[in-house]
Amino acid sequence: MLEIAIVGGGLCGLALAQGLQARRCDFVLFEARGRLGGRILSVHSEKAGMVLDLGPTWFWPEIQPRMLKLVTDLGLRSFPQHDTGEVLYLTDHDKAPDTLSRPGLHGGAHRLEGGMASLVEALSRSLAPGALRLGHELTAVTDRGDHVELSFAHGAENIVVAARRAVLALPPRLVEERVRFEPALEGKVLEALGDTYTWMADQAKALVAYDKPFWREVGQSGNAFVQHEHVVLGEIFDACDTNGERAALGGFFALSPEARAALLPGMPMLVSSQLVQVFGVAAERGEARFQDWAAEPYTCSRRDQVPPDNHPEYGHPLLRRPQWGGRLHFGGSETASYGGGYLEGALEAAARLQRALIVDRPPVVPGVARNEQGIAGFGEWVAARRGGVLERYKRLLHQNLASQRTEQLTQRAVLGVMEQVYSEALARLGELSFDPPAGSIEAGVAALAQDLLAPFVGFNKFLLDEAIAFNGSSCALSNFPSEHRPSSEYLETTARDLAAAWREFAYNVNALLAGRLAVRAAA
């Protein structure tokens, strides 16, 4: 019988598989597509002589530590998104665009040499060939008490796989919509799955390659926003290689999935016409590539066809907790407590899953002194993070401003910082070894958890106080009165969100210790 079945070959599933293989665990990864990567998709352009990212394009090294570490560990190279500080605005299709100053538009975003697919290629190269199964679409999961059975459609065949534990590293809505569970999952779990929007699932991208970056030659950045009644691409960006020798422009469609489907035959002409409106006649001789994620059955659910009104909230607690006595786990970027929807979130979810599967088992050195040393060292680590949270807050705040988010700026940034710190703290604890104090495992867990959580006392209030003080002195926030001088109601709401994140972190610390100590007790 298989020990662990991973369903979903996106970044979360691949990162988890790499971690399992490094610890010589028994697993197989199943992917419905005929390729790995999920929403990561890079295609080669003959005209530009480089790959074009039709899925995720960027990561942010300053606020996404897991991505930065993975890129470094894999020996990949990144480069900053080209940004001169100016952007073109086209609001009338009969007039030339205006040029406006927008420094830091992409908030410190980086791209990867070789495209984001280089992540997929590097991770998959480390896996044994027998550990991958492509073309396997999950249709049902059955709880058998001491293991689960997974049913896959593989061509015309139905294949049943038995595994002691299963990880569904898939968009939650697709799980709720397409996978049958026996027995049925609890109603609140199904509701959480169905309510979780699949990030960018309703979106589409266009990448257009050229012989040379003609826009750079005339001093333009390649950044543009289009907001007239005939808009096709609402946001356009420079997609050249590291040094700008290989040229391309990228853009996000402003059309709905229904409109894109209706206009599909004429799409190349529509995109070309729009780029000519913005950048001139040199833009009409490009090689266009399109990707409509709303038409991808393994990405977009029926409910994802209608995008949410506001930025989605990710990391529902029920989706981060094991089901069926630890035999069933949910993964994917949308389940992350930090970076949900982004590549960072996929890695955060993979790290959580690895902890839950109790595969990260550093050697345990007996002795109370060892515990005291580890607790003291962890306390010093937390204190160092406390000293840097204001800078993290500023970076997240500025990134939200650059991406034109104007609601709940303080709330989003403060919560994002603490979720990032909690994620890093769990990873740090996973590297440490502890012995339970004398007595029961339960008592040992409670005592250790209390000692490890103690350095975080007052952390939330400290960050919120620092954020409020910064907001009051920030010229950038002076145009946002509710953020410049937050009301007591706004601060109470933010404090409640921080308290919820703290409770989730405390739960995860306790679960990590309980799993670690239970393994030791059973040894």
Sign of CA dihedral 177, 251, 337, 496: negative
CA angle 150, 153, 158 (to 5 degrees): 75
pLDDT of residue 365: 43
pLDDT tens-digit readout, 89-109 = 999 988 999 999 988 889 899
pLDDT tens, position by position, 335-352: 998 889 999 999 999 999
Residue in the structure block whose two tokens are 């840097």 = 388
What pTM did the predictor assign? Answer: 0.83
Query: Over the stretch 287-308, which tens digit does the pLDDT of each residue have?
Result: 999 999 999 999 999 999 988 8
- Measured CA to CA, the distance from residue 14 to residue 413 in angstroms comes to 29
- The span from the CA of 466 to the CA of 386, in Å, is 11
Mean pLDDT to the nearest integer, 480-492: 86
- Residue 513 has a pLDDT of 76
Higher-scoring residue by pLDDT: 223, 379: 223
Taking CA atoms, 227 is separated from 73, 93, 278, in Å, by 41, 9, 12
User: What residues contact 12, with CB distance under 8 A and at least 6 apart?
Assistant: 169, 331, 332, 333, 346, 347, 349, 350, 353
Neighbours of 339 (CB within 10 A): 27
> Structurally, what CATH architecture does the domain formed by 42-115+202-295 represent?
Alpha-Beta Complex (3.90)
Query: Would you say 164 and 2 are in contact if contact means Cβ atoms under 8 Å apart?
Result: yes
> Model confidence over 40-77: pLDDT tens digits?
999 999 999 999 999 999 999 988 889 999 999 999 99
Determine the Cα–Cα distance for residues 361 and 486; give it in Å rounded to an integer. 45
- Helix, strand, or coil (residue 119): helix
Residues 6 or more apart whose Cβ sits within 8 Å of residue 373: none
Name the pLDDT band for 366 (thresholds 50, 70, 90).
very low
CB of 166 within 8 A of CB of 148? yes
Which overall architecture, per CATH, does domain 1-40+116-195+313-360 show? 3-Layer(bba) Sandwich (3.50)
Residue 171's contacts (CB-CB under 8 Å, 6 or more residues apart) are: 196, 198, 201, 299, 301, 304, 332, 334
Provide the greatest CA pair distance for the chain. Answer: 79
Name the token pair of 334. Answer: 């949308």
Number of other CB atoms surrounding residue 354 within 10 Å: 22
d(C-alpha 498, C-alpha 494), whole Å: 6
The kind and range of the H/E element at 452 are helix 441-453
Structure tokens at 67: 């991505």
- Spans of all domains in the chain: 1-40+116-195+313-360, 42-115+202-295, 365-522
Task: Report in angstroms the alpha-carbon separations of 255 from 56, 73, 81, 269, 304.
Answer: 19, 39, 25, 15, 15
Residue with tokens 């050697």: 363
3 state SS of 485: coil
Answer whether residue 361 shows pLDDT above 60: no
Note whether 408 and 400 are within 8 A (CB): no
Average pLDDT of 228-249?
Answer: 95
Task: Label the pairing between strands 132-134 and 157-168.
Answer: unpaired
The reply to whether omega before 103 is within 30° of 0 (cis) is no
Give the mean model confidence (pLDDT) for residues 305-323. Answer: 89
pLDDT at 370: 59
If residue 278 lies in a helix (H) or strand (E), which one and from where to where? helix 267-279
Question: Tell me, what's the pLDDT at 73?
Answer: 94
Please report the pLDDT score of residue 507 as a whole number: 83
- Of all residues in the chain, the percent with pLDDT exceeding 90 is 62
Q: Which of 382, 6, 342 is nearest to 167 (CA)?
A: 6
Residues in the chain: 523
CA distance 277 to 78: 31
**Token match 């950048």: residue?**
279
Nearest 10 degrees: CA dihedral of 20, 161, 303, 306?
A: 50
DSSP structure class, residue 50: E
| Whether 317 contacts 337, CB under 8 Å | no
The more confidently predicted of residues 255 and 313 is: 255
Q: What is the mean pLDDT of the chain?
A: 89
In whole angstroms, what separates CA 452 from the centre of its chain? 27
Q: At what angle do helices 65-73 and 409-430 cross, to 10 degrees?
A: 50
CA dihedral 202, 208, 209, 213 (to 10 degrees): -120
